[in-house]
Chain A
Amino acid sequence: MFYRRLLDRWIGVVLSTIGIVATLWLGFTGQLALYIHPRYFVFTIVMAVIAGVLALSAFALVPAGPRADGHGHADGHGHADAGSRHWRGLGAAGSTLIAAAAVVGLLVLPPSTLSTATVTQRDLNGSASTLSRSDAVDLMGADYTTFTMKDWISLLRQGVGEEFLTGKTATVTGFVTPDKSDPENVFFAARFVVTCCAVDAQPIGLPVYSPGWQDRFETDSWVTVSGGFRTNPSQISKEALVMVPDSIAPVPEPDSPYVY
């Protein structure tokens, strides 16, 4: 009974503290970008600090026992029936479960980026989250040596031909994810584009023609690919143009794995 009422009273502060510690640790170790857009970093840290002060004040000022204002919930007045006790018991078990899940998810498991599992859920290059048509037209006269992965994908999406790409070399870094239509010979060097947080991440990627790539690279490992473009030699892949790599080098996951 005492544990149940204690939990009922403090579950919010406990969950808040777990969230605050996780947020501040992610912020100080430079890993907040795994979950949210950098534009929110300052706001998130400031609110975590404010909430941290309030949580510590709660520990300092609010008596630890059930309801400092002298009131319990329905059973706090001492005439709860068996049914309500049953539900409150379940509620306490649920609260314990949520707190345990929060500890494991936020404080025990290491932070990680999204993987190929999410790529397959979200249709690689399926949205127009790269650049608009006019931006792509601007790219056609720009210095291609400065192009990012988004720039190259924009050009490919606009249907530029092999002629335009002849002699141009791209260097991009992304994680390896197989081409669904020809997983033996083609993989994508992929990144997620994030608008707000990882929930809205959209996968984008450049197709790389490299038969037998599975023998050299694991899915979801990070690589830097350098090479030109040509018509896809694969007969079954749905990608019209692919990168033909001069080099593919394994690299560690970047500090900022998403693009914005």
Chain B
Amino acid sequence: MGLLIGLAFFAVLLALRILAPAAEGSSWLGDAARDFVSLSISVVIESLPFVFLGIVLSIGVQIWLPEGFLIRRLPASPALRRPILSLLGMLLPVCECGNVPLARGLIVRGLTVSESMTFLFAAPILNPITIITTQQAFGWDNGILISRIAGGFLIANLIGWIYSRHPRPEALLTPRFQEECSLEDHAAQAAGRVGRSVQLFVRETGAMMPALFIGAGIAGLIQVGVPRGVLVSLGTSPVWSVATLMVLAFVVAVCSNVDAFFILSFGATFMPGSIVAFLVFGPMIDVKMLALLRTTFTAKTLVQLTVVVALCSAALGLAVNYVL
């Protein structure tokens, strides 16, 4: 019966899409409104497969890997665990939006909150696809590639270290996600692996999808509302260029796997340090990521994380501009 309802739902949506008005149907929308819709849809269509991949990997980690499989293989010392976790993205090269459900799965499987943060912020940068595309875009010039890799590693580990000292790490999580974590044991007894996998899919999409759609809408709105020329015109000084490209990274919310190609187009205008700041800050914090991270972390935690990551990225960018 449920399957029939599901098939009927798919069929209704497909019929709606096929029967919807053709090209002229949105002519009543103004250009800006139509572009807002196109840009928001673009964020959704681009991010969806990565979010699904993250959820599938999260299901794999939480339900199909043997109990303790990951935790047992990690060093006992937190100081060693965090560097190892920051390299986990080498094995699981998911884009940053996919890392959120995966990090949630890792917390449920026993990683501490601070360790999951280290993974979350390091993995989008320290993964083979991101490294290769950055190398293709910038080669070894100006220390951009090395600064990105080293900066991503150091900032992610700094955040992990800072939050490892928090007296009540569970307070960093939203009450809803805390509840999700405590449900796992009960759920484990209630259904087989396939059933639990499907339940987890329902739960994770329930957390991720509204956040993704809200984030996409905000990203589209900012894209239409903030003229990019204003940002670019600020980009000629060593200090302002860093701030400008960090704002651009926050606004444009482009995937870390290809952000190097995107920012390459600004390479002639901006200084290398500002490009490094863009490439380090963007994968960790942007408008879409904040919406997704809000499913897991409290607003206060996200403000703190944003400030720390922004300050570290700015310091790194300024160091590259003035020292290298």
The interface of chain A, by Cβ under 8 A from chain B, is 8-13, 15-23, 25-26, 32, 34-37, 40, 43-44, 46-48, 50-52, 54-64, 68-71, 73-74, 94-95, 98, 101-103, 105-118, 120-123, 126-129, 193, 195-200, 202, 220
With contacts A58-B202, A61-B195, A199-B219 taken as known, whether A36 is within 8 angstroms of B213 at the C-beta atoms is no
Cβ contact within 8 Å between B252 and A199: yes
Q: Name B22's closest neighbour in chain A (CB-CB).
A: A110
A257 to B226, CA, bound (A): 24
Cβ contact within 8 Å between A128 and B267: yes
Q: Which residues of B contact A21 (CB under 8 A)?
A: 10, 13-14, 17
Contact residues of B between 192 and 209, Cβ < 8 Å to A = 194-195, 197-199, 201-209
Q: Supply 29 A–B pairs (Cβ within 8 Å), ascending by A.
A: A12-B205, A12-B209, A15-B210, A15-B213, A21-B13, A25-B14, A36-B46, A37-B258, A48-B49, A54-B56, A55-B6, A56-B3, A59-B5, A59-B9, A62-B2, A62-B198, A68-B199, A98-B214, A102-B44, A106-B44, A110-B25, A115-B31, A117-B35, A121-B224, A123-B232, A127-B265, A129-B264, A196-B262, A200-B254
Q: Which residues of A contact B269 (CB under 8 A)?
A: 127-128
Cβ contact within 8 Å between B26 and A121: no
Q: Name B33's closest neighbour in chain A (CB-CB).
A: A117
Q: Name B18's closest neighbour in chain A (CB-CB).
A: A25
Q: Which residues of A contact B20 (CB under 8 A)?
A: 107-110
A19 to B212, CA, bound (A): 11
A15 to B209, CA, bound (A): 6
Cβ contact within 8 Å between B46 and A101: no
Known: A10-B202, A35-B38, A199-B42. 17 other contacts (CB 8 A): A21-B17, A26-B45, A51-B52, A69-B186, A69-B191, A105-B37, A105-B40, A111-B41, A112-B26, A116-B31, A118-B223, A127-B265, A127-B269, A196-B262, A199-B223, A199-B253, A199-B254
Q: Which residues of B contact A16 (CB under 8 A)?
A: 52, 205, 209
Q: Name A68's closest neighbour in chain B (CB-CB).
A: B199
With contacts A48-B48, A199-B223 taken as known, whether A128 is within 8 angstroms of B266 at the C-beta atoms is yes
Cβ contact within 8 Å between B38 and A114: yes
> Separation in Å of the A69 CB from the closest CB of chain B?
4
Q: Which residues of A contact B229 (CB under 8 A)?
A: 121-123, 126
Cβ contact within 8 Å between A54 and B201: yes
Q: Top 9 nearest A-B pairs by Cβ distance? A: A59-B6, A12-B205, A129-B265, A12-B206, A47-B49, A198-B42, A117-B31, A15-B209, A60-B3
Cβ contact within 8 Å between A50 and B186: no
Q: Does B255 contact A (CB under 8 A)?
A: yes
> Separation in Å of the A108 CB from the closest CB of chain B?
5
Cβ contact within 8 Å between B201 and A58: yes
B255 touches which one: A19, A23, A196, A220 (CB < 8 A)?
Answer: A196
Cβ contact within 8 Å between B208 and A47: no
With contacts A114-B38, A196-B46, A199-B43 taken as known, whether A61 is within 8 angstroms of B2 at the C-beta atoms is yes
With contacts A36-B46, A43-B49, A70-B190 taken as known, whether A61 is within 8 angstroms of B210 at the C-beta atoms is no
B266 touches which one: A108, A127, A198 (CB < 8 A)?
Answer: A127
> Separation in Å of the A135 CB from the closest CB of chain B?
13
Cβ contact within 8 Å between A112 and B34: yes
Cβ contact within 8 Å between B206 and A109: no
Cβ contact within 8 Å between A112 and B43: no
Q: Does B53 contact A (CB under 8 A)?
A: yes
Cβ contact within 8 Å between B45 and A35: yes
Chain A contact residues: helix, strand, loop or mixed? helix
Cβ contact within 8 Å between A40 and B198: no
With contacts A74-B175, A95-B210, A121-B223 taken as known, whether A69 is within 8 angstroms of B39 at the C-beta atoms is no
A106 to B258, CA, bound (A): 24
Q: Which residues of A contact B29 (CB under 8 A)?
A: 109
Q: Does B23 contact A (CB under 8 A)?
A: yes
Q: Name B258's closest neighbour in chain A (CB-CB).
A: A196
A50 touches which one: B45, B52, B205, B210 (CB < 8 A)?
Answer: B52
Q: Name A39's closest neighbour in chain B (CB-CB).
A: B258
Cβ contact within 8 Å between B202 and A9: yes
Q: Does B307 contact A (CB under 8 A)?
A: no
Cβ contact within 8 Å between A118 and B35: yes
Q: Which residues of A contact B38 (CB under 8 A)?
A: 34-35, 111-114, 198
Cβ contact within 8 Å between B214 and A59: no
With contacts A107-B20, A114-B35, A128-B266 taken as known, whether A121 is within 8 angstroms of B199 at the C-beta atoms is no
A200 to B251, CA, bound (A): 11
Q: Which residues of A contact B217 (CB under 8 A)?
A: 101
> Separation in Å of the B243 CB from the closest CB of chain A?
18
